[in-house]
Structure 1
Amino acid sequence: MSDQTVEHYERVAADYDEHWSYDPDYVRRFSDAIVDSLRLTRSDVIADIGCGTGLYTRRLCRDVEPEKPVLCVDPVSAMLDRLPPSARMRPVVASAEDLATGRVELPDADRVDAIILKESLHHVASREETLAGLAGLLSRHGRLLVVMLPRTIHHPLFREAHERFAQLQPEPAEIVDMVSAAGLRASVSYRTFHTAIDRERYVRMLEARYMSVLGEFSDDELRAGIDQFRHAYRNDPVLRFDDHFAFIKGWVKPG
């Protein structure tokens, strides 16, 4: 993760949950999809890498009730500081690269059964090497899940933000190949989450740079983009759009 990205998440940490919890049912549905995709059980040792404030991890813990604490891994300590005190979550200040290379060791675990990377892999520079290193941390029945947006998204952003996002976001097919190259069996499925949000609340989210791509713009550029957004959606007090996500799963080959 670049210094610029770390600074972005340090700035938004205090208000992060407010921006993403506008629809509690969305969080529930997304967490359910992760649990279902990885077939998580109480006995699994789970690492949520790039977990941020643990918004989705908390729900996962309530549903799965893991016997061992979920390893909540994030390189931004300000985000981990927002984790509620819980015996089911253990914060680990580290990046995906730190774990993959062994610079930071897994606490109280030689291997993990399930690794989650939800919307965090695009922040990793050396993705292929990092995925290979993470695959090496999996148990003999281990699974790895990368959740990511495609390059074209339906969020009601302004034009330049859509263009910048497409430039920075990897293609899901590339990640599938990397997971396979890491020695795992790989598959991809797509899931859609319907979203509705009040337009003025969304403006506040844009102003707060709720997506990391918005950190790529200066204050003046962001204001101009929001003006463009306001004009485009002037007749829509409630914004409705579909979130399409690629769920890329890798699992250890038998034998």
Structure 2
Amino acid sequence: MDRTVEHYERIAATYNEHWTYNPDYVRGFSHAITDALRLTASDAIADIGCGTGLYTRRLYEDVRPTRPILCVDPVRAMLDQIPASPGLQPLLAEAEDLASGRVALPDGGPLDAILLKESIHHMPDRRATFDGLAGLLSGHGRVLIVMLPKSIQHPLFAEAHERFEQLQPDPTEIADMVAAAGLRSSVSYRTFHAAVERERYVHMLESRYMSVLGEFSEDELRAGIDQFRHSYRDTPLLRFDDHFAFVKGWVPAR
């Protein structure tokens, strides 16, 4: 099993718990996505790498599209968390499957809007995959890649920060990739404020809520959490800014 798939298979059952403690965070983030993509009820929308559909559900509530939002993810255990709804259509597939045509769009396509939220770093061949996904867009198609920057303010332990910076692509490089696929591109940044009780955050670390935490062995993670506990021993409530890059691409007007 692919390492990333294995990681998300393991955390699927508790994934939503890490974010639903603050419904305003999820709601505000979803509104920002809706605004950035300029979603309308007539759009054919796909959330590729949707996970449990935590944000997809709120996109549906915001937009109420006439066609169900396509919820694409390669991890069955994550898709199983999506509630049955006529507005959400789960599809077990990788982004590469759609990009290459190995898996066809259920209604034949094209797509008016594609969301890739915190999934671009999981793609082994980002350029080829994105080229294929761009080919699925309609004449007024848009794509939004939501990603963390190279450096983040999450209260992780030192080695997790170092590993994250080694693995995370630069948003400007992703914008260049979008432009190379023949789309107009732009990069903007959004900030979302987070507040988490320290002990809840310890549980999130133990559950490897970020995929970078899957890079550590049990002993390494335990040592990192001990370091975290020492660093934040006098901070019962953690407050930090969650910065995200919104890399947007759109089909140029003809």
Aligned to 2:76: 77
Alignment-mate amino acid for residue 209 of structure 1: R
Q: Distance in 1 between matches of 2:138 and 2:73?
A: 21
> TM-score under structure 2 normalisation?
0.99
> Structure 1 segments of 4 or more deviating over 2 A?
none
Matched AA of 1:55:
L
Q: Partner of 1:208 in structure 2?
A: 207
Q: CA deviation at 1:248?
A: 0.4
Q: Distance in 2 between matches of 1:186 and 1:22?
A: 34
Identity %: 72
1:43-77 deviation line (CA, Å, top 9, x unaligned): 00000000000000001101100100000000001
Secondary structure of the residue that 1:242 maps to in structure 2? Answer: strand
Aligned to 1:243: 242
* Cα deviation, residue 194, structure 1: 0.6
Shift in Å, 1:150: 0.5
Instruction: Provide the rounded CA distance (Å) in 2 between the counterparts of 1:179 and 1:211.
Output: 25
What is the alpha-carbon root mean square deviation over aligned residues?
0.7
* Distance in 2 separating the partners of 1:176 and 1:218: 33
Paired residue for 1:152? 151
Over residues 212-243 of structure 1, what are the superposed CA-to-partner deviations in whole Å (9 max), with x where a residue is unaligned?
10010000000000000000000100000000
**Corresponding position of 1:177:** 176
Report how many aligned residue pairs link the two structures: 254
User: Residue in 1 aligned with 2:124?
Assistant: 125
Deviation at 1:22, TM superposition (A): 1.8
Q: 5+ residue gaps in structure 2? A: none
1:62-117 deviation digits (Å, cap 9, x = unpaired): 11001000000000011000000100000000111111111111001320000000
SS in 2 for 1:128: helix
Aligned to 1:66: 65
Q: 1: distance between equivalents of 2:135 and 2:156?
A: 38
Show structure 1 runs of 5+ residues with no match. Answer: none
Residue in structure 2 matched with residue 109 of structure 1 by the alignment? 108
Shift of 1:19: 1.1
Determine if the alignment matches structure 1 residue 139 to structure 2 residue 138: yes
CA–CA separation in structure 1 for the residues paired with 2:101 and 2:31: 31
Shift of 1:164: 0.5
Q: Which amino acid aligns with 2:93?
A: A
Give the residue type in structure 1 aligned to 2:253.
P
Q: TM-score, normalised by structure 1?
A: 0.99
Shift of 1:133: 0.6
Q: What residue identity is the alignment partner of 2:184?
A: R
- Quick one: distance in 2 between partners of 1:80 and 1:224? 32
Aligned to 1:221: 220
